[in-house]
Amino acid sequence: MICSGHVSAETATRLSAHHFGLATDPLTGVQVRAEDTPEILRKGTFVAFDEDSGTLNYTFAARGIGVRRLAALLKRDDTLTARARLVSPERLHAVIGSIGARDIGRMAAYELHTTRPHLSAASLNVSRRLLPVLLLAMMTAIFAWLAPRATFLCVEILLSAIFLSGAVLKLGACFIPAPRDVPLGLEDGALPLYSLLVPLYREVRVLPQLIEALKRLDYPPEKLDIKLVIEPDDFATRNRLRRMRLPPWFEVVTAPAIGPRTKPKALNAALCFARGSYVAVFDAEDIPEPGQLRHALAAFRAAGSSTACVQARLAIGNADESWISAHFAAEYAGQFDVLLPALASLRLPILLGGTSNHFRRDILEAIGGWDPYNVTEDADLGVRLARAGWGTTVISASTDEEAPITRRAWMRQRTRWMKGWAQTLLVHGSHPVELVRDLGAGNAIALGLLTAGPFVSALLHPMCLAVLFADIISGVFLAPGSSLLGVAASALSYTNLVVGYLVAGISCSLGLHRRGRLGLAPILLSLLFYWPLISLAAWRAIIELVVRPHWWDKTEHGVSRRRRLRPAHGAGSGPDEAIRPVNPPLQRDHLRGSA
């Protein structure tokens, strides 16, 4: 009734209270400890002690199945009717969220660092963590001074063997068939409440497209709980949302201005307000397939209780807009349509994508949520899930994303990604014994090959090309070596260079084929010019890691001119008309649930 626009949330709460013979609680002048607010929001229940009667009084924010559970409680306990009151979830969120805004902000920003400091990038002392690397470099320099040629060849052989192992692992992923999704087989009445967290910052341009895409999800609206998370000073986005006619299952949450201004901190803050037992994350520019939530639930059921996360595949909707966006699309195809499904099939650790992750709510909270100080919180969370013994699977349902269309925008985004991967490597690699104990030797090696290997490879790639061109110019390319060690080093290096490009081409081409975009494959002929850009981003990331490790360089969305979501059938032509629900709810100009 509420989602269809026939009754407001406050009216529905008042009628439910009348039905049960309960009073409603306006929550005016309520006294609550700020540190208790996250738990109150999480449970949707406010408990107050009445000193006069010596009893506990309860205020329930019941909706949906919660109303049925409340009815069962009232039948079991006759005294509860006199001690219970009802409040709408929207009012509970607004009042309690306002009271405890600072505590919610502190929890969102500092809880992981406080409870698990060894797993938080906030504890990252880059100088100290890089000390073993510097000592190794010094030892290598000493050996190079004593025996320069032998040292150079040994290092070349070792690195080539590591990079080649990673390439072989990626090549093996190409021979693992993509898993097929299983049908859900659940009626709408049996579907669980699903919360979607969508962090927004300066996203006015994509708001109409985002709201329309989320409204098209094939899921009962009354079982959707969508949180649009905004920053306190983002007045443009706030005002735009006020002018929109948001359906009742949308709620705007303001992330408190405490700690770093990052996406993971905003997600942690919004998680307190989420009511669902399953939680998914979407970005502002995302257009998810309508059936994605049902596919994710089916994957959870099929995989069993040991699976904590489902990753949907990400695809690029503006691949043909520029040279850089075409390469971006090919990369995504190789990553999300080939590599990640293969890793999931082999039960290996997965570095999650930044969006379209679906979680079991209880497990997400148990491992500490997102790390607000890691600028690729998705990659870090994937490793922490694996270390805690939880599995991740990949589904074929996808989400359409917008790729950067200029080299400048691409460089800023890729630098942040590289910096976050370096943070993740330093956090989890600083205690290798514990990492191997948590993951197992095989999984730890695979994780290293697929994370540290590509990162170090990106750093060294320009030098490898320089050596190759120098050999060609000097005329020693493919010339017989003067020693067995030299022959082995040259053979491994040249093989690694050829196999690296070849495997990347095969993987991306296979991904494009599975994605139905094989026509983009010719762009891979220019990988020789694309990979040096990745190397430049890796070196910029190293500098940023030292200078400003937790700074979040935001990617601008809505700049593509070729990626548009068509308005729903029958929608008007105005910008706000395009997001109007089929059954318009009652007008609401206030921001529901603002903290």
Q: What domain range is 477 assigned to? A: 100-595
pLDDT tens string, the chain, 595 residues long: the values are 888 889 999 999 999 999 999 999 888 878 777 778 888 888 888 888 777 777 888 899 988 888 888 999 999 988 888 889 999 999 999 888 888 888 899 999 999 999 999 999 988 776 565 666 666 666 666 655 665 666 666 767 777 777 888 888 899 999 998 877 777 778 888 899 999 999 999 999 999 999 999 999 999 999 999 999 999 999 999 999 999 989 999 999 999 999 999 999 999 999 999 999 999 999 999 999 999 999 999 999 999 899 999 999 999 999 999 999 999 999 999 999 999 999 999 999 999 998 999 999 999 999 999 999 999 999 999 999 999 999 999 999 999 999 999 999 999 999 999 999 999 999 998 888 999 999 999 999 999 888 888 888 888 888 777 777 777 787 766 666 666 766 677 777 778 888 889 999 999 999 999 999 999 999 999 999 999 999 999 999 999 998 888 888 888 887 877 655 554 433 333 333 333 333 333 333 333 333 3
Same domain for 474 and 491?
Answer: yes
CATH number for the domain spanning 168: value is 3.90.550.10
Tokens of 210: 């985002």
Tokens of 319: 């691949």
pLDDT (0 to 100) of residue 135: 66
| DSSP state letter for 589 | -
1 part of a folded domain? no
Put simply, whether the predicted model's pTM sits higher than 0.85 gets the answer yes
2 part of a folded domain? no
Last residue within a domain, chosen from 99, 131, 158 = 99
Same domain for 44 and 125?
Answer: no
Sequence-distant (6+) residues with CB within 8 A of 345 are 176, 179
496 part of a folded domain? yes
472 part of a folded domain? yes
Same domain for 183 and 106?
Answer: yes
Same domain for 345 and 457?
Answer: yes
Last residue within a domain, chosen from 77, 99, 121 = 99
Same domain for 164 and 280?
Answer: yes
Same domain for 319 and 208?
Answer: yes
Sequence-distant (6+) residues with CB within 8 A of 317 are 287, 400, 401, 402, 560, 562, 563
E strand or H helix at 287, and its extent?
strand 287-288
296 part of a folded domain? yes
Same domain for 274 and 318?
Answer: yes
4 part of a folded domain? no
Question: What is the rounded CA–CA span in Å between residue 363 and residue 583?
Answer: 35
Same domain for 82 and 154?
Answer: no
* Cα within 13 Å of Cα(418), Cβ side: 26
Last residue within a domain, chosen from 99, 124, 142 = 99
Same domain for 60 and 117?
Answer: no
Q: Helix, strand, coil % (nearest 5) of the chain?
A: 55, 10, 30
Same domain for 156 and 184?
Answer: yes
Give the chain's domain count: 2
Same domain for 266 and 194?
Answer: yes
Strand partners, 246: none
Question: What is the rounded CA–CA span in Å between residue 22 and residue 37?
Answer: 24
Same domain for 68 and 172?
Answer: no
220 part of a folded domain? yes
DSSP string, 240-280: HHHHS---TTEEEEEPPS-S---HHHHHHHHHTT---SEEE
Start-to-end Cα distance in the chain: 26
255 part of a folded domain? yes
